[in-house]
Amino acid sequence: MASSAVSDRPGRTPHRVSGRLFAAGSSAFIEASVEFGVGSVCLIGVDGNMGAIRSLTEVTIDRPVVGLPRRLRFPGGEVFESDDHDKFEAALAYAEGRSKRKSGALGLGPVKLIALALLAVLLPVGVFLAMPYAADGVARALPRSIDNAIGASAFEEMDGRLFRASRLAPKTKSNLNRLFREIVDASALDPDDVRLRLRMASHKGLNDNAIALPDGTIVLFDGLVEIAENEDELAGVLAHEIGHIEHRHSLRQAVRAAGLGLLVTIFVGDSASLLEELAAAGVFATELSYSREFETEADVTSARIMRRLGRDPEAMVLLLRRLHRDCNDDCEESGFWSTHPGLRERMESVGAGTE
C-alpha cells in the first residue's frame, strides 16, 4: 500500500508538509501534502500519489502572517493550505536555499528591533529639523510672480473693507513717502523683482501697526505714526517690513506650513484622536516659532538698512516699548505662544553688529 509506505518513512521526507488542498475555484478540500525539493515543489495525495513537480517560480506563496495557515497556489488554481508553520517554513527555506526566517509576530531579533526603534525616533526628529531648510529651498526656487499674485489678491481683499483712508495731514504723508523712498533705495531689493509701495491707512483694531504684503505693498496705519516721536522710529518699522518682503516670509511660511502638514500626515497619520490633538498643537507652536524666526530676520535687515542710512537701528524697538508700555515685562520675553520675539531679544537683534 502506497499510503503506508509513505507514513512508514517520515524520516526520509523531512521537507514534506501536510495540509489540505482546495480544488480550483471550489470550497471543497481534501487532505494532501506537498514535498519541497531544491527549487521545486510537488503535490502528494493522501494515497501517496505524486503530482507533477513544479518549479518554485510557477507557484505563488502567500506572505506569511503569524499563526495563520501558510498558502501555496498552484498555476492551475488549486490552493494548498497548511497549519504547520514551522515545518512549512523549514521546507520552504530548504527549497529556496536560504536560512529559516525568524518566526513570531515581531519577526526581528532584539538588536534589529532596538535599531529599528531608535531609527524610528531619530529619523522623524531629523526630518523635522531639516524640513524648514528644504522648504526655504523650494520657496527660493519659486518665481517672485507668485509672491506678487498672493500679495495683490490679499490687498484687494483687505483694501476698502478692512482699511479706511488715512487721516494724516498731507505734509506728514509726503514726508513719509520721502522717508520710504530713502529706505527703499538703501534696501537690497531689486526694483525689477518687486515694486515696493507705501500705503497709509487707518483701521480700528490694527491701528498701531504696519503690515507687509508679499507683492511689495507696505501698509502703515495712522496710529503708529501718531505715537512715534521721531523719524527714525518709523524708518525702522518700514525697514523691518521691507525685510519681510526681501526674505519672502509669507511664501516661506506657506511652504513650511505645507511641509509641516505633510510630515504630520506621514508620521502621525490616522491614529488615536488625542495624538492628533497634540500634533495640531505642536504644529501651531512650530509655526509660531517660524514666525519669531522671520521677525528676527526682518529686525536684522531693518538694522542693516538703518545703519547704512546713518539712522538709529534701536529706535524701532523704543517705539514698540512705548506701544506696549502697559504690558511691562510680559512683552520683554519671548513666549512659547507668541508670534514675535520679546522686546529684549529684538533689541539684541537690532543691536547686533554695532561696533
Partner 1 sequence: MSDLTAVGPASFRPIRHEFVFTGDARTYFAICLRTFLLAVVTFGIYDAWGTVERRRYRMGNTQVAGHGFDYHASPIVLLIGRFVAIGVIIGIQLSVTFLPPDILGYISPAFSLLVLFGMPFVVLRSLRFHVRNTSYRNIRFDFVGGYWGAFFVTIIAPFLVGITVGLIFPWYRAKYQKYIWNNVKLGRSGFSLEMPMWPLYRAFIVTAVLGILLTVGYFALAFPGSFHLASALDIGSSVQIELLLIALTLIYALALAAVMFIFTTALRNTTGRNLKLEGGHSFGSNVHSMKLAWIVLSRGLLATVTLGLLLPWATIQIHRYLVSETALLANGDLDRFVAAEVDPGGAAVSEFGAMEGIADGVFSGI
Query: Could you tell me the smallest distance in angstroms from the CB atom of residue 271 to partner 1?
Result: 5
Query: Could you tell me the smallest distance in angstroms from the CB atom of residue 43 to partner 1?
Result: 15
- Going through 217-310 in order, the beta strands assigned E by DSSP cover 217-221
Q: Which is nearer to Zn ion, 19 or 243 (CB)?
A: 243
Contact stretch for Zn ion (CB under 5 A) within 49-57, 248-256, 263-271, 295-303 = 295-303
> What is the residue-wise DSSP string for 3-20?
HHHHHH-GGG-TTEEEEE
Contact status: 38 vs partner 1 (CB under 8 A)? no
Q: Which does 266 bind (CB under 5 to 8 A by kind): Zn ion, partner 1, none?
A: partner 1
Q: Which is nearer to Zn ion, 78 or 295 (CB)?
A: 295
* Residues within window 204-263 making contact with partner 1, judged by CB under 8 A: 254, 258
> Residue 81 pairs with which residues in a beta bridge?
20, 71
Angle at 116 between CA 115 and CA 120, to 5 degrees: 120
Buried (b) or exposed (e) across 263-295, using 16+ Cβ within 10 A? bbeeebeeeeeeeeeebeeebeebebebbbbbb
> In angstroms, rounded to a whole number, what is the distance separating the alpha carbons of residues 209 and 298?
15
Q: Which does 26 bind (CB under 5 to 8 A by kind): partner 1, Zn ion, none?
A: partner 1
Contact present, 338 and 288 (Cβ < 8 Å) = yes
For helices 249-267 and 110-141, give the axis angle rounded to 10 degrees. 160
Closest CA to 143 of 215, 217, 213: 215
End-to-end CA distance of the chain: 104
Contact stretch for partner 1 (CB under 8 A) within 56-64, 173-181, 192-200, 285-293 = 56-64
- CA 164 to chain CA centroid, Å, is 39
Among 97, 272, 336, 354, the residue binding partner 1 under the rule CB under 8 A is 272
* Residues within window 124-153 making contact with partner 1, judged by CB under 8 A: 124, 127, 146, 149-150, 153
Among 5, 10, 11, 27, the residue binding partner 1 under the rule CB under 8 A is 27
> In angstroms, rounded to a whole number, what is the distance separating the alpha carbons of residues 319 and 316?
5
Among 39, 67, 351, 353, the residue binding partner 1 under the rule CB under 8 A is 67
Q: Which is nearer to Zn ion, 169 or 337 (CB)?
A: 337
Q: DSSP 3-state assignment of 51?
A: strand
**Rounded-to-10 torsion of CA 110, 114, 116, 122:** 180
Q: Which is nearer to Zn ion, 35 or 295 (CB)?
A: 295
Among 79, 196, 235, 316, the residue binding partner 1 under the rule CB under 8 A is 79
Q: Which is nearer to Zn ion, 6 or 298 (CB)?
A: 298
> In angstroms, rounded to a whole number, what is the distance separating the alpha carbons of residues 330 and 349?
18
Contact status: 162 vs partner 1 (CB under 8 A)? no
Among 13, 16, 18, 29, the residue binding partner 1 under the rule CB under 8 A is 29
Burial of 140 per CB tally in 10 Å (0-12, 13-18, 19+): exposed
Q: Which is nearer to partner 1, 25 or 170 (CB)?
A: 25
Binding mask 296-325 for Zn ion (x = CB under 5 A): --x---------------------------
Q: Which is nearer to partner 1, 117 or 162 (CB)?
A: 117
Residue 4, all three cell numbers: 503506508
Which residues would be at the binding site for partner 1 (CB under 8 A)?
Answer: 22, 24-29, 60, 62-63, 65-69, 71, 77, 79, 104-108, 113, 116-117, 119-120, 123-124, 127, 146, 149-150, 153, 157, 254, 258, 265-267, 269-275, 278
Which residues would be at the binding site for Zn ion (CB under 5 A)?
Answer: 295, 298
